[in-house]
């Protein structure tokens, strides 16, 4: 049987308490977000603490993968432009720059498969 998002967070970050596991997951996502992989569109009142564990786990996985493969969003955007053979298209590039990282990652995976 598949583990719940809380159980996955507890296992991944080695925390037994649900509050500690959530805090570790939020801090890990915030670390990745500060490394140039994130467009900050969060509500200042709510923040990442009120996002579900499932969404945080997905975001952590996507940001980690993009950081490992491309080191930042710009590298991912460049890879998309090359894959679509539109490297000189400034309008398309500016449109891609407005997309969030998970959407860019999905677009890249679609192109490369």
User: CA 112 to CA 91: how far, in whole Å?
Assistant: 22
User: pLDDT band for position 97 (50/70/90)?
Assistant: very high
User: CA 91 to CA 109: how far, in whole Å?
Assistant: 21
Flag whether pLDDT at 64 surpasses 90. Answer: yes
CA trace torsion 45, 73, 9, 31 (10° rounding): -60
Q: Would you state the pLDDT for residue 88?
A: 93
Q: What are phi and psi of 43, to 5 degrees?
A: -70, 130
SS3 per-residue string spanning the chain: CCCCHHHHHHHHHCCCCHHHHHHHHHHHHHHHHHHHHCCCCCCCCCCHHHCCHHHHHHHHHHHHHHHHHHCCHHHHHHHHHHHCCCCCCHHHHHHHHCCCHHHHHHHHHHHHC
The pTM for the full model equals: 0.87
34-57 per-position pLDDT tens digit: 878 887 777 778 888 899 999 999
């Amino acid at each position: 049987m598949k583990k719940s998002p809380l159980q996955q967070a507890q296992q991944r970050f080695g925390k037994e308490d649900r509050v500690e596991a959530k805090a570790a997951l939020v801090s890990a996502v915030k670390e990745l977000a500060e490394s140039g992989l994130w467009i900050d569109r969060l509500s200042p009142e709510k923040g990442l603490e009120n996002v579900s564990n499932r969404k945080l786990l997905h975001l952590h996985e996507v940001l980690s993968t993009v950081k490992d493969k491309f080191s930042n969003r710009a590298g991912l955007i460049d890879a998309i432009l090359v894959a679509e053979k539109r490297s000189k298209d400034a309008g398309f590039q500016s449109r891609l720059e407005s997309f969030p990282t998970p959407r860019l990652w999905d677009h890249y995976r679609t192109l490369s498969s």
